[in-house]
Amino acid sequence: RGKRAFIAGIADDNGYGWAIAKSLAAAGAEILIGTWVPALNIFETSLKRGKFDESRVLPDGSLMNITKVYALDAVYDNLEDVPEDVKTNKRYAGASNWTVQEVAESVRNDFGSIDILVHSLANGPEVSKPLLETSRNGYLAAMSASSYSFVSLLKHFVPIMNPGGASISLTYIASERIIPGYGGGMSSAKSALQSDTRVLAFEAGRRHKIRVNTISAGPLGSRAAKAIGFIDMMIDYSLANAPLQKELLADEVGNAAAFLASPLASAITGTVLYVDNGLHAMGVGV
């Protein structure tokens, strides 16, 4: 039987989540997607109208098939967590069952189990503020959307993940080195995500035989990255300074994710894999 993947954090065809979905689909996996509630309508409409068809083409010429798109907001674990103003917000009222627990239940009812869980989402409302100017609420919101969201997804999906399964998240070098401009507690959130990758690899490995890894990706001009504001500078910096002086393609991150999710990586867990043209290894720009 082919593998089944749930990829949280796709709302267009520009980001890492989309590229990971394509690489997994090319390797024969069935694709389920979790899309942020406020972005769901436009994503599904664009998908239906064929707006993404060009980007759906796989190496063998066929189109990536997305079996189902689920509404998801990964900052809420269950209905009791959802504040009244969100429940009644018109961008949320049209969708249902979008808390993490409900999505995992829906996937179990629809398909029984999955093999691969991908977390490709982050959010930091104060990302453009230096850490010194970040509010407590902004910092905690970054941690909730970008770090705990992974703990919560794994916690709720692990019971329906087949033994031998794998989970993958996306991190950024700002967790380990100073990257001015990646503020609002987002650097802190990525540090937590990387630390949690190790602890969760132990817990999910021992209890469920599930592997947990994270990919530290180089800069990509995704929707989320453009919102931060400094992405073009980061791409130029990488081109000028990385060991491999070429554009970093989202597909290269997708392919690394497909490897990590596959039996080829059956002894790899608890790791941070750098897919960044080698930029992380430089100590100084040249």
- Do 214 and 193 touch, CB atoms closer than 8 A? yes
Nearer to ligand NAD, 97 or 162 (CB): 97
- Residue count (the chain): 286
CB-nearer residue toward ligand NAD: 133 or 232: 232
Q: How far apart are CA 103 and CA 109, in angstroms?
A: 10
Known catalytic membership, residue 51: no
In angstroms, what is the minimal distance from the CB of 202 to ligand NAD?
A: 22
Distance, CA of 190 to CA of 166 (rounded, Å): 20
DSSP β-bridge partners for residue 35: 71
Part of the chain binding ligand NAD (CB under 6 A), chosen from 8-16, 45-53, 86-94, 103-111:
8-16
- Dihedral angle at the C-alpha atoms of 272, 277, 281, 286, nearest 10 degrees? -160
Residue with smallest beta-carbon separation from ligand NAD: 15
Token pair belonging to 124: 């930091």
| Closer residue to ligand NAD, CB minimum distance, 114 or 234 | 234
Q: Which of 5, 117, 121, 210 binds ligand NAD (CB under 6 A)?
A: 121
Residue 152 annotated in active site: no
24 interacts with ligand NAD by CB under 6 A: no
Set 146, 147, 149, 169: catalytic member: 147
In this structure, are residues 63 and 56 in contact, taking their beta carbons and an 8 Å threshold?
A: yes
Of 261, 263, 6, nearest to 112 (Cα)?
Answer: 6
Size of the site for ligand NAD (CB under 6 A): 27
Q: Which stretch binds ligand NAD (CB under 6 A): 46-54, 81-89, 215-223, 255-263?
A: 215-223
Q: How far apart are CA 8 and CA 16, in angstroms?
A: 11
Query: According to the binding rule CB under 6 A, does residue 122 interact with ligand NAD?
Result: yes
Q: Which residue has the tokens 């829906």?
A: 106
Kindly state the tokens that stand for 41. 């309508």
Q: Which of 219, 256, 269, 273 binds ligand NAD (CB under 6 A)?
A: 219
Task: Name the residue nearer to ligand NAD (CB basis): 160 or 170.
Answer: 170
Picking from 76, 88, 95, 100, the residue whose alpha carbon sits closest to that of residue 6 is 100
The residues assigned a catalytic role are: 147, 190
Using CB under 6 A as the criterion, which residues of the chain lie in contact with ligand NAD when the complex forms? 9-11, 14-17, 36, 39, 72-75, 120-123, 145, 170, 172, 217, 219-220, 222-225
